[in-house]
Structure formats: C-alpha cells, structure tokens
Structure 1
C-alpha cells in the first residue's frame, strides 16, 4: 500500500528532510547519499526554501528515523559515516515527474505550474507548462486505492494572474488562507516566486554569456568586457 498522507501525514520537519534528500540526489549526486551534517545544511539553507527553517541535529535525526519507519528513507553505511537516501517514488507510488513536482512543493511552498517548470530545471526538464499541468492534474485526481490526492489547486489570490498548487503530504490544506498573499507582497507573487524568476534569469544570462564566448572564440576575437559594446558597435 503506498504512503497515505490522509492516514499518517508528514510533519513539516519530515517533509523538509525528505524533500532535501530528493533535491540533493538530483542536483549534487557526488554528495549523495547524504550525511546528517550535509542534510542539515540543505534543510536550513536560506535560498530556494519556503519557509526557511532552523532544524537541529536532533530534529533532523528524529525526522529521518520516522521516514525510515514509513519506508520513505533508508540509511546506508560507508567510510564509517551513516548516510541517507530517499525512497520517495517507490514509497509513494508516483513516477519521476510527479516526484519532482511534489519535492519542489515541499521545499518551496505553493507555486504556479509556470514556477514549478522553472524551478524544476535542475531536477527534471519538462517540455512545457502543459506537461507540468498534466502531472499535477494526475496527482490531484489520484484514486483512493493509490492513497488519494497528493496536491490541491488553491483559489486564485487577489491580484494574482495564476492559481498556485500546494501538496497534501502534510495533510489537508486550508485553501482559502493559503491563497492570501503574504503581507508586503502586494499580491504580485511570493518571495519564492521572485527568487525563482531571479534564478531563471541568472541561468539565461549564464547561457547567453557562454554562447557569446564560444562565438568569439570561433571568430578569433576577444569578448567585450561587461558594460562595453562589442568591436565595431560603439
């Protein structure tokens, strides 16, 4: 029987530990499986997290022990250090694409389908927003035999153009309070959404810079320093 959050929902600490294992398995495979110290650093990092948390060693270890009992994580030994791996896809019974979306929702809070596609770049490359929406719809319509729905579409927040999705792995969500924008956001998006846009722009700039440098190398010219026009375009 797959993991059923309606019967035994995850605690916020368990969700953060589990999602961090899922993230690091895809983004820093050389450091995976993870030691407790490495995992704790990932759980408490201040970027790409909503909310930012401050787990202690004891908090993380308690969450790992509980996840092990739920067959959502397991420990391995090597180099005299205990390391941990997640077992999310098998334990919950979802494909990789759905696991990626659920992991991002656990780490970054409610997000639109567009934000999820951007944030998933380092985890899994979705072809378009429609493919993201298809997997979200599948998770929302999940049958009781498989453990029930794992995501919910929140009501549109005042001033927002798109609706956001939230996960249900920690139990039911108060959809109306979750749809209210945070104070100071002006209804124009969450800090997590703004962070996602910044990271996407940084990735695009890095890609453009690499392309320019490659073209300059092929043409045998030196790339212009930042803030200066290329040769012949003053």
Structure 2
C-alpha cells in the first residue's frame, strides 16, 4: 500500500440563498464581462441585486455578500485574490467544485440565478454564456449534470418539464415543491372543483408558513453572527 496521500477535492454541498446568488454572479460575469473579472465587492453587490436575469430579486448589502463569500470560500467554491493596487477581488472555483465543463457551468449558473426552468428556458438564457445549438444539446448537458447529482427534474417528462439544481437546503427544497404544486393546481383552477380549490388554498398557506419560517431563520442567523463578532 502506498504511503502517499492525496487531498480530497471539495464536493458540492447545499448553499444558502445568498451564497448561491454570489456564486452565480461570479461565474456569469467571468463569462459575459471578462474584462471586469475577478469582481470587486462593489461589482458583486451590483451583480447580485441587478433586475435582469435574476429570480428572485434581492437587495444584498456588503455584509450579506461577505457572509456569502465566507460560505463559498469555506466549501471551496470561491477564492479571494489580490487585485491591482489595494483592491480585493473575488473569483469562482466552479469548474473544479462542480467538476463541469463550460456548457455545464453555464447551465448551472442559470439555474443558480433564476431557479427552476424548462429546457427551452435554459437554452435561451444560458446561450448568452455558451452557445447551445438546440434542445437536444441542452438535454445532453442537463443529463450529464443529473449524472453528477447536480441537477434533478422537478416535474414528469414531457413538454414543459422543469429542472432545478440540487444545492437547495432542505427547508428551501420543501418550499420549492410547494410552489410547484401551487403552479400545477393553478393551471387547472379554471375548472377546479370545490375540494381542488380548497387544496390550492392549503398549498398557499403552506408556502406562506415556509416563507415566515425562512425569514425567522435568516434573522436568527444574522443575530447570532452579530453577537459572535
């Protein structure tokens, strides 16, 4: 047996909402505005809060982004580098962390920045970072990401099938499932019976409750960090 030991490569893990947004921004800007990459703190804040190509809309401040960067650096998904002068800049390590090529990184980035999408939506949006010729190509990329346990289908096969990344923490994954159930119920609401409408109301109540719980968790985590600092 060899005495040599090799350093184990960090594996993707669930990330907080803010960390997913910051990682998505780092990969996106590296591809779309390479002259401004690596990113400064100002660039990261602006990219995280921009109105286009983002869902949900966020309003992150410097403390939020710093906490997200600490999380990403801790798991090996981002790095701090020295820029020109005294400026501190940040770069992603997504290719190594995800173990993907450029098409895979582009698809993962869109899922991080916009949430669950269909193959058509992925193709339209990810093509701004890497050309995806048709839906067959997109399906191949998505299939490879599914094999790596990075992506999963959220709805049954067929037209409009929706895919999502697998970096959601458990509480957010539960919210995602409830939201999809609501959307499916809403699509049939025009002909829904009274029991079906009652079911839709129950889903709304569950989503509202999960949103409240997530807000309380976020507030508690920030309060703990303030007390520990």
Instruction: Tell me the TM-score normalized by structure 1.
Output: 0.68
Q: What is the RMSD computed on CA atoms of the aligned residues?
A: 2.4
Q: How far apart in 2 are the matches of 1:76 and 1:136?
A: 31
Identify which of structures 1 and 2 has the higher relative contact order when contacts are C-alpha pairs closer than 8 Å and 6+ apart.
1
Q: How far apart in 1 are the matches of 2:58 and 2:133?
A: 32
The Cα shift of 1:4 comes to: 3.5
- 2:9 is the counterpart of 1:10: no
Instruction: Tell me the TM-score normalized by structure 2.
Output: 0.70
Query: What is the DSSP-based 3-state SS (H/G/I as helix, E as strand, rest coil) of the residue aligned with 2:117?
Result: coil
Of 75, 78, 92, which aligns to 1:73? 78
Residue segments in structure 1 that go unaligned for 5+ positions in a row: 143-148, 188-234
Tell me if the contact between 1:15 and 1:106 (Cα under 8 Å) persists in the aligned partners: yes
The Cα shift of 1:176 comes to: 3.7
Q: How far apart in 2 are the matches of 1:164 and 1:129?
A: 13
Task: Show the counterpart of 2:89.
Answer: 83
Query: What is the DSSP-based 3-state SS (H/G/I as helix, E as strand, rest coil) of the residue aligned with 1:52?
Result: coil
Task: Show the counterpart of 1:26.
Answer: 31
Tell me if the contact between 1:73 and 1:86 (Cα under 8 Å) persists in the aligned partners: yes
Q: Which has the larger Rg?
A: 1
Q: How far apart in 2 are the matches of 1:111 and 1:181?
A: 16
Give the structure with the larger helix fraction.
Answer: 2
Residue segments in structure 2 that go unaligned for 5+ positions in a row: 1-7, 189-229
Q: How far apart in 1 are the matches of 2:182 and 2:120?
A: 18
- 2:178 is the counterpart of 1:177: yes
Tell me if the contact between 2:22 and 2:69 (Cα under 8 Å) persists in the aligned partners: yes
1:165-207 C-alpha deviation (Å, 9 max, x unpaired)? 1111224534642424669x868xxxxxxxxxxxxxxxxxxxx
Tell me if the contact between 1:126 and 1:132 (Cα under 8 Å) persists in the aligned partners: yes
Tell me if the contact between 1:154 and 1:178 (Cα under 8 Å) persists in the aligned partners: no
- 2:147 is the counterpart of 1:141: yes
